[in-house]
Structure 1
Amino acid sequence: MQTFYHQTSSLLHRLNPLSKILATVPALLFVALTTDPWVPLAFLGLTTITILIAGQIPLTRFIRIVGPLLLLTLSFLLLSPLMVREELMSHSPVFFQLGPLTVYQAGVLYGLSLALRIAAILLLSVLFTFTTDPADFIRALVQQWKVPYKIGYSALAAFRFVPMLQNNLRIIQAAHKIRGISHKRGPRAWYDQVRRYLIPLLSIAIRQAERTALAMDGRAFGSMSTRTYYKQYCFASRDYLFIASYWLICLLLVLIIWRVGLLGQLVFLQTM
């Protein structure tokens, strides 16, 4: 989340973090239970528009973050037709045949549906991480969903270690470059770089963890059953309006797909 988060003052950024979970989780579960390619494709379009317009995420950053994730789904499209048993697909027309390798049309459609479904789930998750500060999310969990604050603030402290270690890694790399340490290519050079970076990063992480623990002890963290908060979280009218609007748009998309006869069966119905 710390890596994906893009800070701006968009509508999605001003919402309560929990409202975005309540809005997207039902859609995510429905996409996970569908087998046709049309529902994931529709949710891919809806989520992309929501991120770019309501979230005001720059197109270049969206492509840089989401592009590699979506490319991973191509592996499901390529491998799924080869992993399905032939007797289950033998009734389908042959898509192509290369020597002993036979790929059926039904297997290709299954792989396409699986790839689109995974891509839609990833994009729905990215909608939340693009527009939600991890610190705000944890504070909202502690205040509204009664997560023990000892667990919440421990996770918040762990989140802060990620950018700290990234910054320290850049400093160590710059120091090595100033001292004339060459950065060669190849497995041996990669192993040497990891070994040079590992010990300084480990010592910095241990030192930072000790300082964090001392700071928490100095503030009597965990001594009280309750605590006060500088920033209060609650559901405002805009949060309820966003949840209702998102659910309504998702329902309209599903109804349109169903009316034109493209809505496939659910997975649990197929297994009955």
Structure 2
Amino acid sequence: MSEKGILTARAFAPAHITGFFQIHDHVEPMKKGSTGCGVVLDRGVHTTVTVSDDIERTEIYLNGEQVPGDTSRAVVGSMTDLPVKVESISDIPIGCGFGASGAGALGTAYALNHALSLNYTANQLNDIAHVAEVSNGSGLGDVTGQVHGGITVRKTPGAPSIASVDQVPSKDNDVYCVVLGELSTRSVLNDPEMVRSINNAGKEAMRKLMEKPSVNNFMFYSREFTIRSMLASEKVMEAIETSRNIGVIASQAMLGNAVFSIPPVDRRTELNDIFSEFGTVLHFKIRNESTRIG
């Protein structure tokens, strides 16, 4: 409690980049989601939730601007009838395949639980965020990845408490990204032909990765998925091919108009130079932790 009559709490949830995936639809949001593999990053979304008598209706803010915030709003609505002010500050790109929506939903759930002493368990909070995300079409598997950290293999679909997951071991790996624009997750998920193409490519990528799970193979089969699914723009493919020319595997961040890579140590500088030709280069570490309070 920051001052009398005002309840407030903060939470952080990390970014998540999906390398490849399969879509699994279901009438029950808890069972809807995706399988696939992605990497959790050391930056993400910082969310502050405030409850006070002065707040008349729930308001969602992102980087200082009021937004509809349908996913975070759904989280609030499923946890309390009180009007709430949700303020999220993102240090990752929005709408570019970094799982910002899932991170905002998770941060909202954890912060609200703490502010109001609602006594939800971590599993319950994770599931609330997942249901809000899939119900609003803003994502399918980011929340499950975000709550586990590292390079997470989502072996079965659904909310974090019921999904079967595994890990590709990683250590001291750096992730380089360049953003080339935005891509609507909802527009892709609503295209039946695109869904078929994604699922065929995602099934093959998962089969191959699980035969030899490694960081390098995660990147390799993510690149194969990008090519086979035909989701990439010309600019994305150009960045991927330019990276290939120096022996570095790069792939599209799903679902976003961005490219990422986990390069060998001796190629980081060269890759950074190549990515900088396409835009501002973002540099992350792999994060092996999940959401935190405060």
Q: TM-score range by the shorter chain?
A: under 0.3
Normalising to structure 2: TM-score of the pair? 0.22
- The structure having more radius of gyration, on CA atoms, is 1
TM-score, length of structure 1 as denominator length: 0.24
More helix by proportion, 1 or 2?
1
Q: Which has the higher strand share?
A: 2
